[in-house]
Amino acid sequence: MPASPSPAFQTATESPSLPDAALRRLLWLIAAGFFMQSLDTTIVNTAVPAMAEALKVSPLDMRGALTSYVLTLAIFIPASPWLCNHFGTRQVFAGALAIFSLGSLLCGCATSLTGLILARIVQGLGGAALMPVGRYVLARTVDRKDFVRSMSMVATVGLLGSVIGPLLGGLLVQFAHWRWIFLINIPVGMAGYWLNRRAMPDYRGDRGERFDLSGFVLFASASALLLYASEQLTDHRASATALSASLLTALLCGTLYVWHGRRIEHPVADLRLLKLPTVRISLAGNLFTRLGVSGMYLLVVIYLQVGCGWSPLQAGLMMLPQAAGSIAAKWMVAPLLDRLGYRRLLTGNALCVVLILLGFGLLGSSTSAWVIGSLMFVYGAFMGVQYTSMNTLIYVDLDRRHAAMASSMASTAQYLSMSFGIAAASVLMSLYLPGAAAAAYVVAFHWTVLTLAALTLLSAGIFRQLAAPGVSLPLRGR
């Protein structure tokens, strides 16, 4: 008889059943990874004006420090399934925590915008495995009927970073130094590294599978060139020739990847999964939703601090209602999906988000903090429902053996659209900016959120394509 596999090692086809205590430790560990990412994102946005002043650039120029991080996530996330197959989820998650902490240290030591961008890329290299590995382990470990609730619990704990981040960022910038907004990640990373050795299962797959290096290079090149081209739109020094060459090369790389991905057995992103309507609609809906809303943090902070003259602490406090609304709504997702299904919930909720964005377009420089805070809370609640629903839709019709690839593709689409969403928001605000006065930033904010509302409206049409009445529980058994 063949020897029994080690308890710490599960093959790709096994679905272990963890004791309740072990499952709780695993959920806390994955939540810690989500926490680090959400803390880093929100704490940086709040500090953008102060960092821009310290590094002697304009606030809108700081988009490079934001987009470089999320683009690195998007580019390197597709490598996570191959890394898990060869090294195991435990080692990959541990390495991700260590590299993310190192990148945070480098960010805290940066003395120029270029140095900060390079350090953010290191951060992104570590962060690229945190979310997809966490999602994959949950999909492999948690019972199908409990998946949405488990994801909601992990996301809710992770969102504590969104609650703490704005306030902590404002406090650190106003009373200490902006460098501490990165250094705060280090103790969290150390705690996660310790817990990883005790809680993370060691899932692996086919170690003989070769990494799709050609596909990875094509995908990375297309993504980076598209973002570079979008960054050049507001640079008066950029030539039309260089911009056109970037766009054409990106289109060529993308086309070559589609051709390449259909010819090999294990592509870096398996486009054959797009034959499933739920996968295709989930990815497309995610793209247009995040294109419309990913830049809102940056826009609101610039509007409050530059346009309205608020302090970093006051602006940070105004981010709290958004995070609180998101957390409060997370627990409603499973009941709403059971009652409405994905189609009606995602379509109707997207239309509500559009209306809320239109509401942001009515804010002025003297609008009451209570009005802004209430709008932020409602916005956070509806976006919390939308994010959780979108993030689970992709798994609905998948066999478990495709969970790793689906997790990788979902995370890649999420961060790629986030990077373009941040770039689009900052580009639009630059184009709408009539001058350097504070009032000009308020006007630019109005027109930018109205344009982003139109982009978000497209996602409602995409989610309408789901089969009626829509499925409710993910990871349907086969």
Give CA–CA dist 95/130, Å, rounded: 10
149 membership: H or E segment, kind and range: helix 147-175
Q: Is 203 helix (H, G, I), strand (E, B) or coil?
A: strand
Give CA–CA dist 217/222, Å, rounded: 9
User: Are 463 and 350 in contact, with CB atoms under 8 Å apart?
Assistant: yes
pLDDT the model gives residue 4 = 36
| pLDDT digits 0-9 by tens, 326-382 | 878 877 888 888 888 888 889 999 999 999 999 998 988 888 889 999 999 999 999
| pLDDT digits 0-9 by tens, 208-255 | 567 788 888 888 888 888 777 776 665 556 667 777 888 888 889 888
Give CA–CA dist 458/462, Å, rounded: 7
Give CA–CA dist 416/116, Å, rounded: 20
| pLDDT digits 0-9 by tens, 410-437 | 777 777 788 788 888 888 888 888 776 7
Show Cβ contacts of residue 418 under 8 Å, excluding neighbours closer than 6 positions: 70, 74, 290, 294
pLDDT the model gives residue 394 = 80
| pLDDT digits 0-9 by tens, 133-190 | 887 787 777 776 666 677 777 777 766 776 677 778 778 887 888 888 888 888 888 8
Looking at domain 20-201+268-463, which CATH architecture does it have? Answer: Up-down Bundle (1.20)
Mean pLDDT, range 14-19, rounded to an integer: 54
Give, in order, the Cα–Cα distances in Å from 477 to each of 11, 139, 260, 402: 19, 12, 31, 13
User: Are 282 and 264 in contact, with CB atoms under 8 Å apart?
Assistant: no
Q: Nearest to residue 226, comparing CAs of 340, 67, 457, 368?
A: 67
pLDDT exceeds cutoff 60 at 1 = no
For 396, list phi and psi in degrees, rounded to 5.
-60, -50
| pLDDT digits 0-9 by tens, 66-101 | 778 878 877 887 787 778 878 888 889 899 989 999
